[in-house]
Structure 1
Amino acid sequence: MTAFPFTHPHIRFTHSRFRLQRVVASSPSGAGRINFTETADPTWTIQFTSVPLRESELAEIAAWWSQFRGGLKSTLVTQNVTCRPFAHSNPAQAAPAQDAGVLDGVSGGNVLAVSGVSPSLVLQPGDLLGLERLTFRGLHRVIAVSGSGTSRSITVEPPPRSYVAQAGAVVRFEQPELNMRSPVDSWSVSEGARPVVSFSFVESRV
């Protein structure tokens, strides 16, 4: 299954990027100290805004949107900007990022042991990678990386969830995808002869 927005390549959208949302509460603990507590798992979101649309394009994207039934159903979503390691952003140098790796294990909660990658793969802080196991997806940003050849040790945020952090999971370096759902009432359409559509998605387990 091709992830949105590439399921609709003839309907163009402005640049849309994954954003990580954290829910952190703070409370005073005495002596001027403040405690910070993460009260929910970090969650990825993304917002899409179309270019001005023809009536036929508006009808097509509205029909596509209706199948999610206000968030009851999910879809695979990816960014519509170049999404591969920065060292391979040039299409002529993309080949090493197109080889997926294999997750051998996770240590310390967020350090991935990855094998089977291209020896020419170059990763750096800020790159995105995806984890895939069965129908589950995870998205993570590279914080640090070490190793060479076909094996790497990659520190990521947020820490992977248990349903994808298992040995044998696929590690995707190019165009990672997420299962996402549409929040209720996130859809909007501007007035005028060439309307603009805007909507958002939030990460979902399935």
Structure 2
Amino acid sequence: MIDLPPSIGFQPSYPQLTIPTSQTKYGGRTISTVEYADSYRTVDMETVPLTAGQAVQLQSFIAAAKGGAETIIYRPTHICIPQAYWGDADNPHINGTATRGAVTGGYMVQLNNVVPGLLLKPGDLFSLQSVDYRQMLQVVIGGVAASTTLTVKVDQPISSYVGAGATVRFKRPEMNTRLVKDSFQMASGHFPTASFQLIEVPR
């Protein structure tokens, strides 16, 4: 596994959820929709203008990604903590050691060992990690922890590979990704920009 190069500045990015579905239509109207595969996220990465040194460092990183054969740990840098704590990244509510508890209906997840008073709002991101497996989730229905547990609804089913007891990250959540083949492009000139796409994988 490799990390995004810390010396490279990136434009704000928003992980996008893809839900593979097929639709049956009759007379121009949709009559049924079926989800036929697991959902996943993609991230469109774009750099800020690069110096010559940064450009060659980025080329080295892309080579290390091996055309998608190597796992890249993605961490958002733009919106990297829950909304209630913007401007307060060291707040103890998001720096604890919460764990994944019970899951109901695939989407309702109980978070254990949270700091009482933790507030999660719709749109907040957090991640689950079990050994080298990671999953990034976005809150759909949030809440406030009245005790050391909090149950929220998320945007996709909780994966089996991040089972009960998985570590919860509220600050700089993590997602395992791979480089999408042939997605890397770099402009010419003295201060080029570059772009590439990442796609979520279990590990």
Task: Report if TM-score (shorter chain) is over 0.5.
Answer: yes
For residues 198 and 134 of structure 2, the distance between their equivalents in structure 1, rounded to whole angstroms, comes to 15
1:177 aligns with 2:136: no
1:202 aligns with 2:199: yes
Instruction: Decide which of 15, 18, 25 is 1:21's aligned counterpart.
Output: 18
For residues 182 and 114 of structure 1, the distance between their equivalents in structure 2, rounded to whole angstroms, comes to 31
CA contact (8 A) 1:51 1:196 kept: yes
SS of equivalent residue, structure 2 residue 94: helix
Q: CA deviation at 1:94?
A: 2.9
Give the alignment's TM-score, normalised by structure 2: 0.92
Q: CA deviation at 1:145?
A: 3.2
1:99 aligns with 2:96: yes
Q: CA deviation at 1:33?
A: 5.6
1:67 aligns with 2:44: no
| AA partner of residue 157 (structure 1) | D
Instruction: Decide which of 127, 147, 150 is 1:149's aligned counterpart.
Output: 147
- Structure 1: give runs of 5+ residues left out of the alignment: none
Q: CA deviation at 1:73?
A: 1.0
- Structure 2: give runs of 5+ residues left out of the alignment: none
Q: Structure 1 runs of 4+ off > 2 angstroms? A: 1-4, 91-95
| AA partner of residue 13 (structure 1) | F
For residues 85 and 156 of structure 1, the distance between their equivalents in structure 2, rounded to whole angstroms, comes to 14
Identity, % of aligned positions: 28
CA contact (8 A) 2:81 2:89 kept: no
For residues 12 and 140 of structure 1, the distance between their equivalents in structure 2, rounded to whole angstroms, comes to 24
Q: CA deviation at 1:90?
A: 1.4
CA contact (8 A) 1:29 1:35 kept: no
Matches within 5 A, 1:47-62: 47-62=44-59
1:123 aligns with 2:132: no
Give the alignment's TM-score, normalised by structure 1: 0.90
Q: Count residues with an aligned counterpart.
A: 202
Q: CA deviation at 1:3?
A: 4.3
SS of equivalent residue, structure 2 residue 36: strand
